[in-house]
Amino acid sequence: MDRINSKNVKAWNAEYMFHPFASPDATAKEKPLIIEEGRGAVVYDIDGKDYIDGQGGLWNVNAGHGRKEIIAAIEAQLHKLQYYSLFGGTTHARAIELSKLLVELTGQEGMTQAFFATGGSEAIEGAIKLARQYWKLAGKPERTKFISLQRAYHGVAMGGLSANGTPAFRAMFEPLMPGFIRTETPYVYRNPFTEDPAELAQICAMLLDRAIEDQSPGTVAAFIAEPIQGAGGLIVPPAEFWPLVRKVCDKHGILLIADEVVTGFGRTGSLFGSRLWGVAPDIMVFAKGINSGYVPLGATMFNARIEQAFRNNPDAWFMHGNTYLAHPLACAAALANLDIVVKEDLAGNAASVGGYFLERLRALQDRQPHVGDVRGKGLMIGVELVADRKSKAPFESSDGFGKAVANRCRDNGVLVRNIYDTFIISPPLVLILHPPPLLRAPSPMLRTGEG
Ligand SMILES: Cc1ncc(COP(=O)(O)O)c(C=O)c1O
């Protein structure tokens, strides 16, 4: 088989491979960056050039690249049992161990059960199905609707896609599922209501309440949201928002689903995003940081309220699941990964390193006229660039300003992801705490920290 090299890469990539969230023309025009190796918070491209992984893969590599403990756990599992099914009365030890550990870790949030998936989108579908079945079992089958936030991102499968709050993600796949309604997100930097975060939280909670009333509360199954919105532009809600949301959900008896696919396992400086806001949801959805991307895995967890509806009822079958959920290699990786997350207090490291980043970025805001807003929690940070800071006017999308800045960062040895003109800084949570043993002598940029 022909091996790829830096000369044939551009042509092969454009010719054979269809990329996610991209147009084939753009892929053909732009030379892709081929990542070949990684250690800690540093990755290397096919030519051996090093980069600080400011993206953390796709905000999932919480414990860092090349962690020997995780690799050893996967290898040991591979030698023992590469696959067995959880269907029809069989299971395997790593899935059982992991479900127990997850229930223990989420004890404060009241989760009692774990159901596995192969990634975030699928775990979201599990949450949607669980919520609908819960209401059928509870004798209220007309409660089928879901309310989500504008700018929400809940993955690419049809249920999560229908809850997504960014029109560009949905438009080409319509019609979506019926019964999905969106309400206003508490975006402090850009909203038509107020500059006061606490007041904005009240307003958005009131609008959620009104949206539920408008649908007729007896038809609503659940409200679903990310504790901090990610792909929709990194929107940190005011601290008052989630507790108010819990109250509104309780008032109408509806379930609260926290999509913790990004916020789970330390990224926000707290072990979970829900914990950051002091809220116990009914369902928590995990993926990404659950095993730092070593093998795909997702999990949908739920509390006793939902569990009880399924117990003592021989007809309560959850008719959902697929071949690779709780893959033994993924579960083994998760067990080793979560051990690192807890023992090395990666949430604590994210809080302190993230706090430093926020401070330095805010200082930059004073000097740099195009830095409109700096926001974040832990190592989940967004920097919104604007054409004019005073009016907050964005750049014309045709300017490609965000892309140009991202490219400049890449040229200087730092990978950061831009969603239009908002930059997402989400490195592995081991950044700085554990300077990784580098594969090769670092480039001058990494050595001096210039640029
Ligand atoms: C909040 C959130 N939910 C769900 C998903 C979907 O996860 P996956 O890409 O693993 O399907 C993502 C992916 O980025 C996400 O950010």
- Give a yes or no: residue 268 inside a domain: yes
DSSP per residue over 246-266, as a string?
A: HHHHHHHT-EEEEE-TTTTTT
Under 8 Å between Cβ of 260 and 302: no
Q: Which amino acid is at 337?
A: N
Same domain, 92 and 132: yes
- Give a yes or no: residue 64 inside a domain: no
Pairing of strands 414-415, 50-53: parallel
Distances (CA, A) of 293 to 65, 287, 302: 9, 9, 23
Domain around 122:
70-343
Cβ atoms within 10 Å, residue 320: 16
**What tokens does 352 get?**
């302190």
Q: Could you tell me the pLDDT band of residue 398, with boundaries at 50, 70 and 90?
A: confident
Same domain, 46 and 76: no
What is the 8-class DSSP label of residue 304?
A: H
Alpha carbon of 230 to ligand 1 centroid (Å): 9
Q: Which of 226, 262, 380, 426 to mutate to test the pocket of ligand 1 (most atoms within 8 A of CB)?
A: 262
Same domain, 217 and 334: yes
pLDDT above 90 for 451: no
Alpha carbon of 132 to ligand 1 centroid (Å): 21
Rg (CA), the chain: 22
pLDDT above 60 for 450: no
pLDDT above 80 for 440: no
Q: What is the pLDDT of residue 9?
A: 78
Kindly report, residue by residue over 150-190, the tens digit of the pLDDT. 999 999 999 999 999 999 999 999 999 999 999 999 999 99
Backbone angles phi, psi at 49, to 5 degrees: -75, 140
How many angstroms separate the CA atoms of 319 and 126, rounded?
A: 10
Q: What is the pLDDT of residue 15?
A: 85
**Nearest partner of 173 among 161, 160, 155, 159, judged by Cα:** 161
Q: Which amino acid is at 448?
A: T
Q: What is the pLDDT of residue 434?
A: 47
How many angstroms separate the CA atoms of 120 and 289, rounded?
A: 10
Q: Could you tell me the pLDDT band of residue 31, with boundaries at 50, 70 and 90?
A: confident
Same domain, 379 and 339: no
Q: What is the pLDDT of residue 17?
A: 87
The domain that holds 151 is classified in CATH as 3.40.640.10
- Give a yes or no: residue 362 inside a domain: yes
- Give a yes or no: residue 126 inside a domain: yes
Decide which of 411 and 449 is more confident: 411
pTM: 0.95
Q: What is the pLDDT of residue 448?
A: 39
How many angstroms separate the CA atoms of 357 and 369, rounded?
A: 19
Same domain, 353 and 332: no
Kindly report, residue by residue over 114-132, the tens digit of the pLDDT. 999 999 999 999 999 999 9
Q: Could you give the maximum distance between any two Cα atoms of the chain, in Å?
A: 66
Alpha carbon of 288 to ligand 1 centroid (Å): 8
- Which of 321, 343, 365 corresponds to the end of one domain? 343
- Strand arrangement of the beta sheet that strand 380-385 belongs to: 371-377, 380-385, 422-425, 417-419
Mean pLDDT lowest among 22-31, 142-151, 290-299, 417-426: 22-31
Backbone angles phi, psi at 358, to 5 degrees: -60, -40
Q: What is the pLDDT of residue 290?
A: 98
Q: What is the pLDDT of residue 377?
A: 98
Nearest residue (by CA) to ligand 1, atom 12, is 155
Tokens 């689903």: give the residue: 257
Percentage of residues of the chain with pLDDT beyond 70: 95
Q: What is the pLDDT of residue 436?
A: 52
Q: Could you tell me the pLDDT band of residue 32, with boundaries at 50, 70 and 90?
A: confident
What are the residues whose beta carbons fall under 8 Å from the beta carbon of 79, sequence distance 6 or more?
A: none
Same domain, 328 and 198: yes
Pocket of ligand 1 (CB under 6 A): 119-121, 124, 153-155, 226, 230-231, 259, 261-262, 287
Mean pLDDT lowest among 78-92, 340-354, 396-410: 396-410
Exposure pattern of 100-112 as b/e (b: 16+ CB <10 Å)?
ebbeebbeebbbe
Same domain, 436 and 333: no
Same domain, 223 and 363: no
How many angstroms separate the CA atoms of 113 and 96, rounded?
A: 11
How many angstroms separate the CA atoms of 42 and 54, rounded?
A: 9
Q: Could you tell me the pLDDT band of residue 52, with boundaries at 50, 70 and 90?
A: very high
- Which of 293, 325, 343 corresponds to the end of one domain? 343
What is the 8-class DSSP label of residue 336?
A: H
Q: What is the pLDDT of residue 437?
A: 55
Cβ atoms within 10 Å, residue 142: 12
- Give a yes or no: residue 246 inside a domain: yes
* CA 122 to ligand 1: nearest atom: 11
Same domain, 313 and 406: no
- Give a yes or no: residue 255 inside a domain: yes
The domain that holds 43 is classified in CATH as 3.90.1150.10
Domains held by the chain: number: 2
- Which of 343, 375, 394 corresponds to the end of one domain? 343
Distance of CA 243 to the CA centre of its chain: 21
Q: What is the pLDDT of residue 2?
A: 73
- Average of per-residue pLDDT across 421-446: 74
Alpha carbon of 250 to ligand 1 centroid (Å): 26
Q: Could you tell me the pLDDT band of residue 97, with boundaries at 50, 70 and 90?
A: very high
Using DSSP's 3-state secondary structure scheme, residue 327 falls into coil
Q: Which of 288, 327, 380 to mutate to test the pocket of ligand 1 (most atoms within 8 A of CB)?
A: 288
How many angstroms separate the CA atoms of 420 and 325, rounded?
A: 33
- Give a yes or no: residue 18 inside a domain: no
Distances (CA, A) of 403 to 5, 297, 396, 397, 422: 25, 30, 12, 10, 10
pLDDT above 80 for 392: yes
Kindly report, residue by residue over 299-343, the tens digit of the pLDDT. 999 999 999 999 999 989 999 999 999 999 999 999 999 999 999
Decide which of 9 and 251 is more confident: 251
CA atoms within 13 A on the CB side of 443: 17
Alpha carbon of 72 to ligand 1 centroid (Å): 27
How many angstroms separate the CA atoms of 190 and 338, rounded?
A: 36
Tokens 């997350």: give the residue: 341
Q: What is the pLDDT of residue 146?
A: 98
- Strand arrangement of the beta sheet that strand 35-39 belongs to: 35-39, 42-45, 50-53, 414-415
Same domain, 197 and 240: yes
> For all residues of the chain together, what is the average pLDDT?
94
Nearest residue (by CA) to ligand 1, atom 16, is 262
| Omega prior to 296 cis, within 30 of 0 | no
Same domain, 203 and 226: yes
How many angstroms separate the CA atoms of 330 and 293, rounded?
A: 9
Same domain, 337 and 354: no
- Give a yes or no: residue 9 inside a domain: no
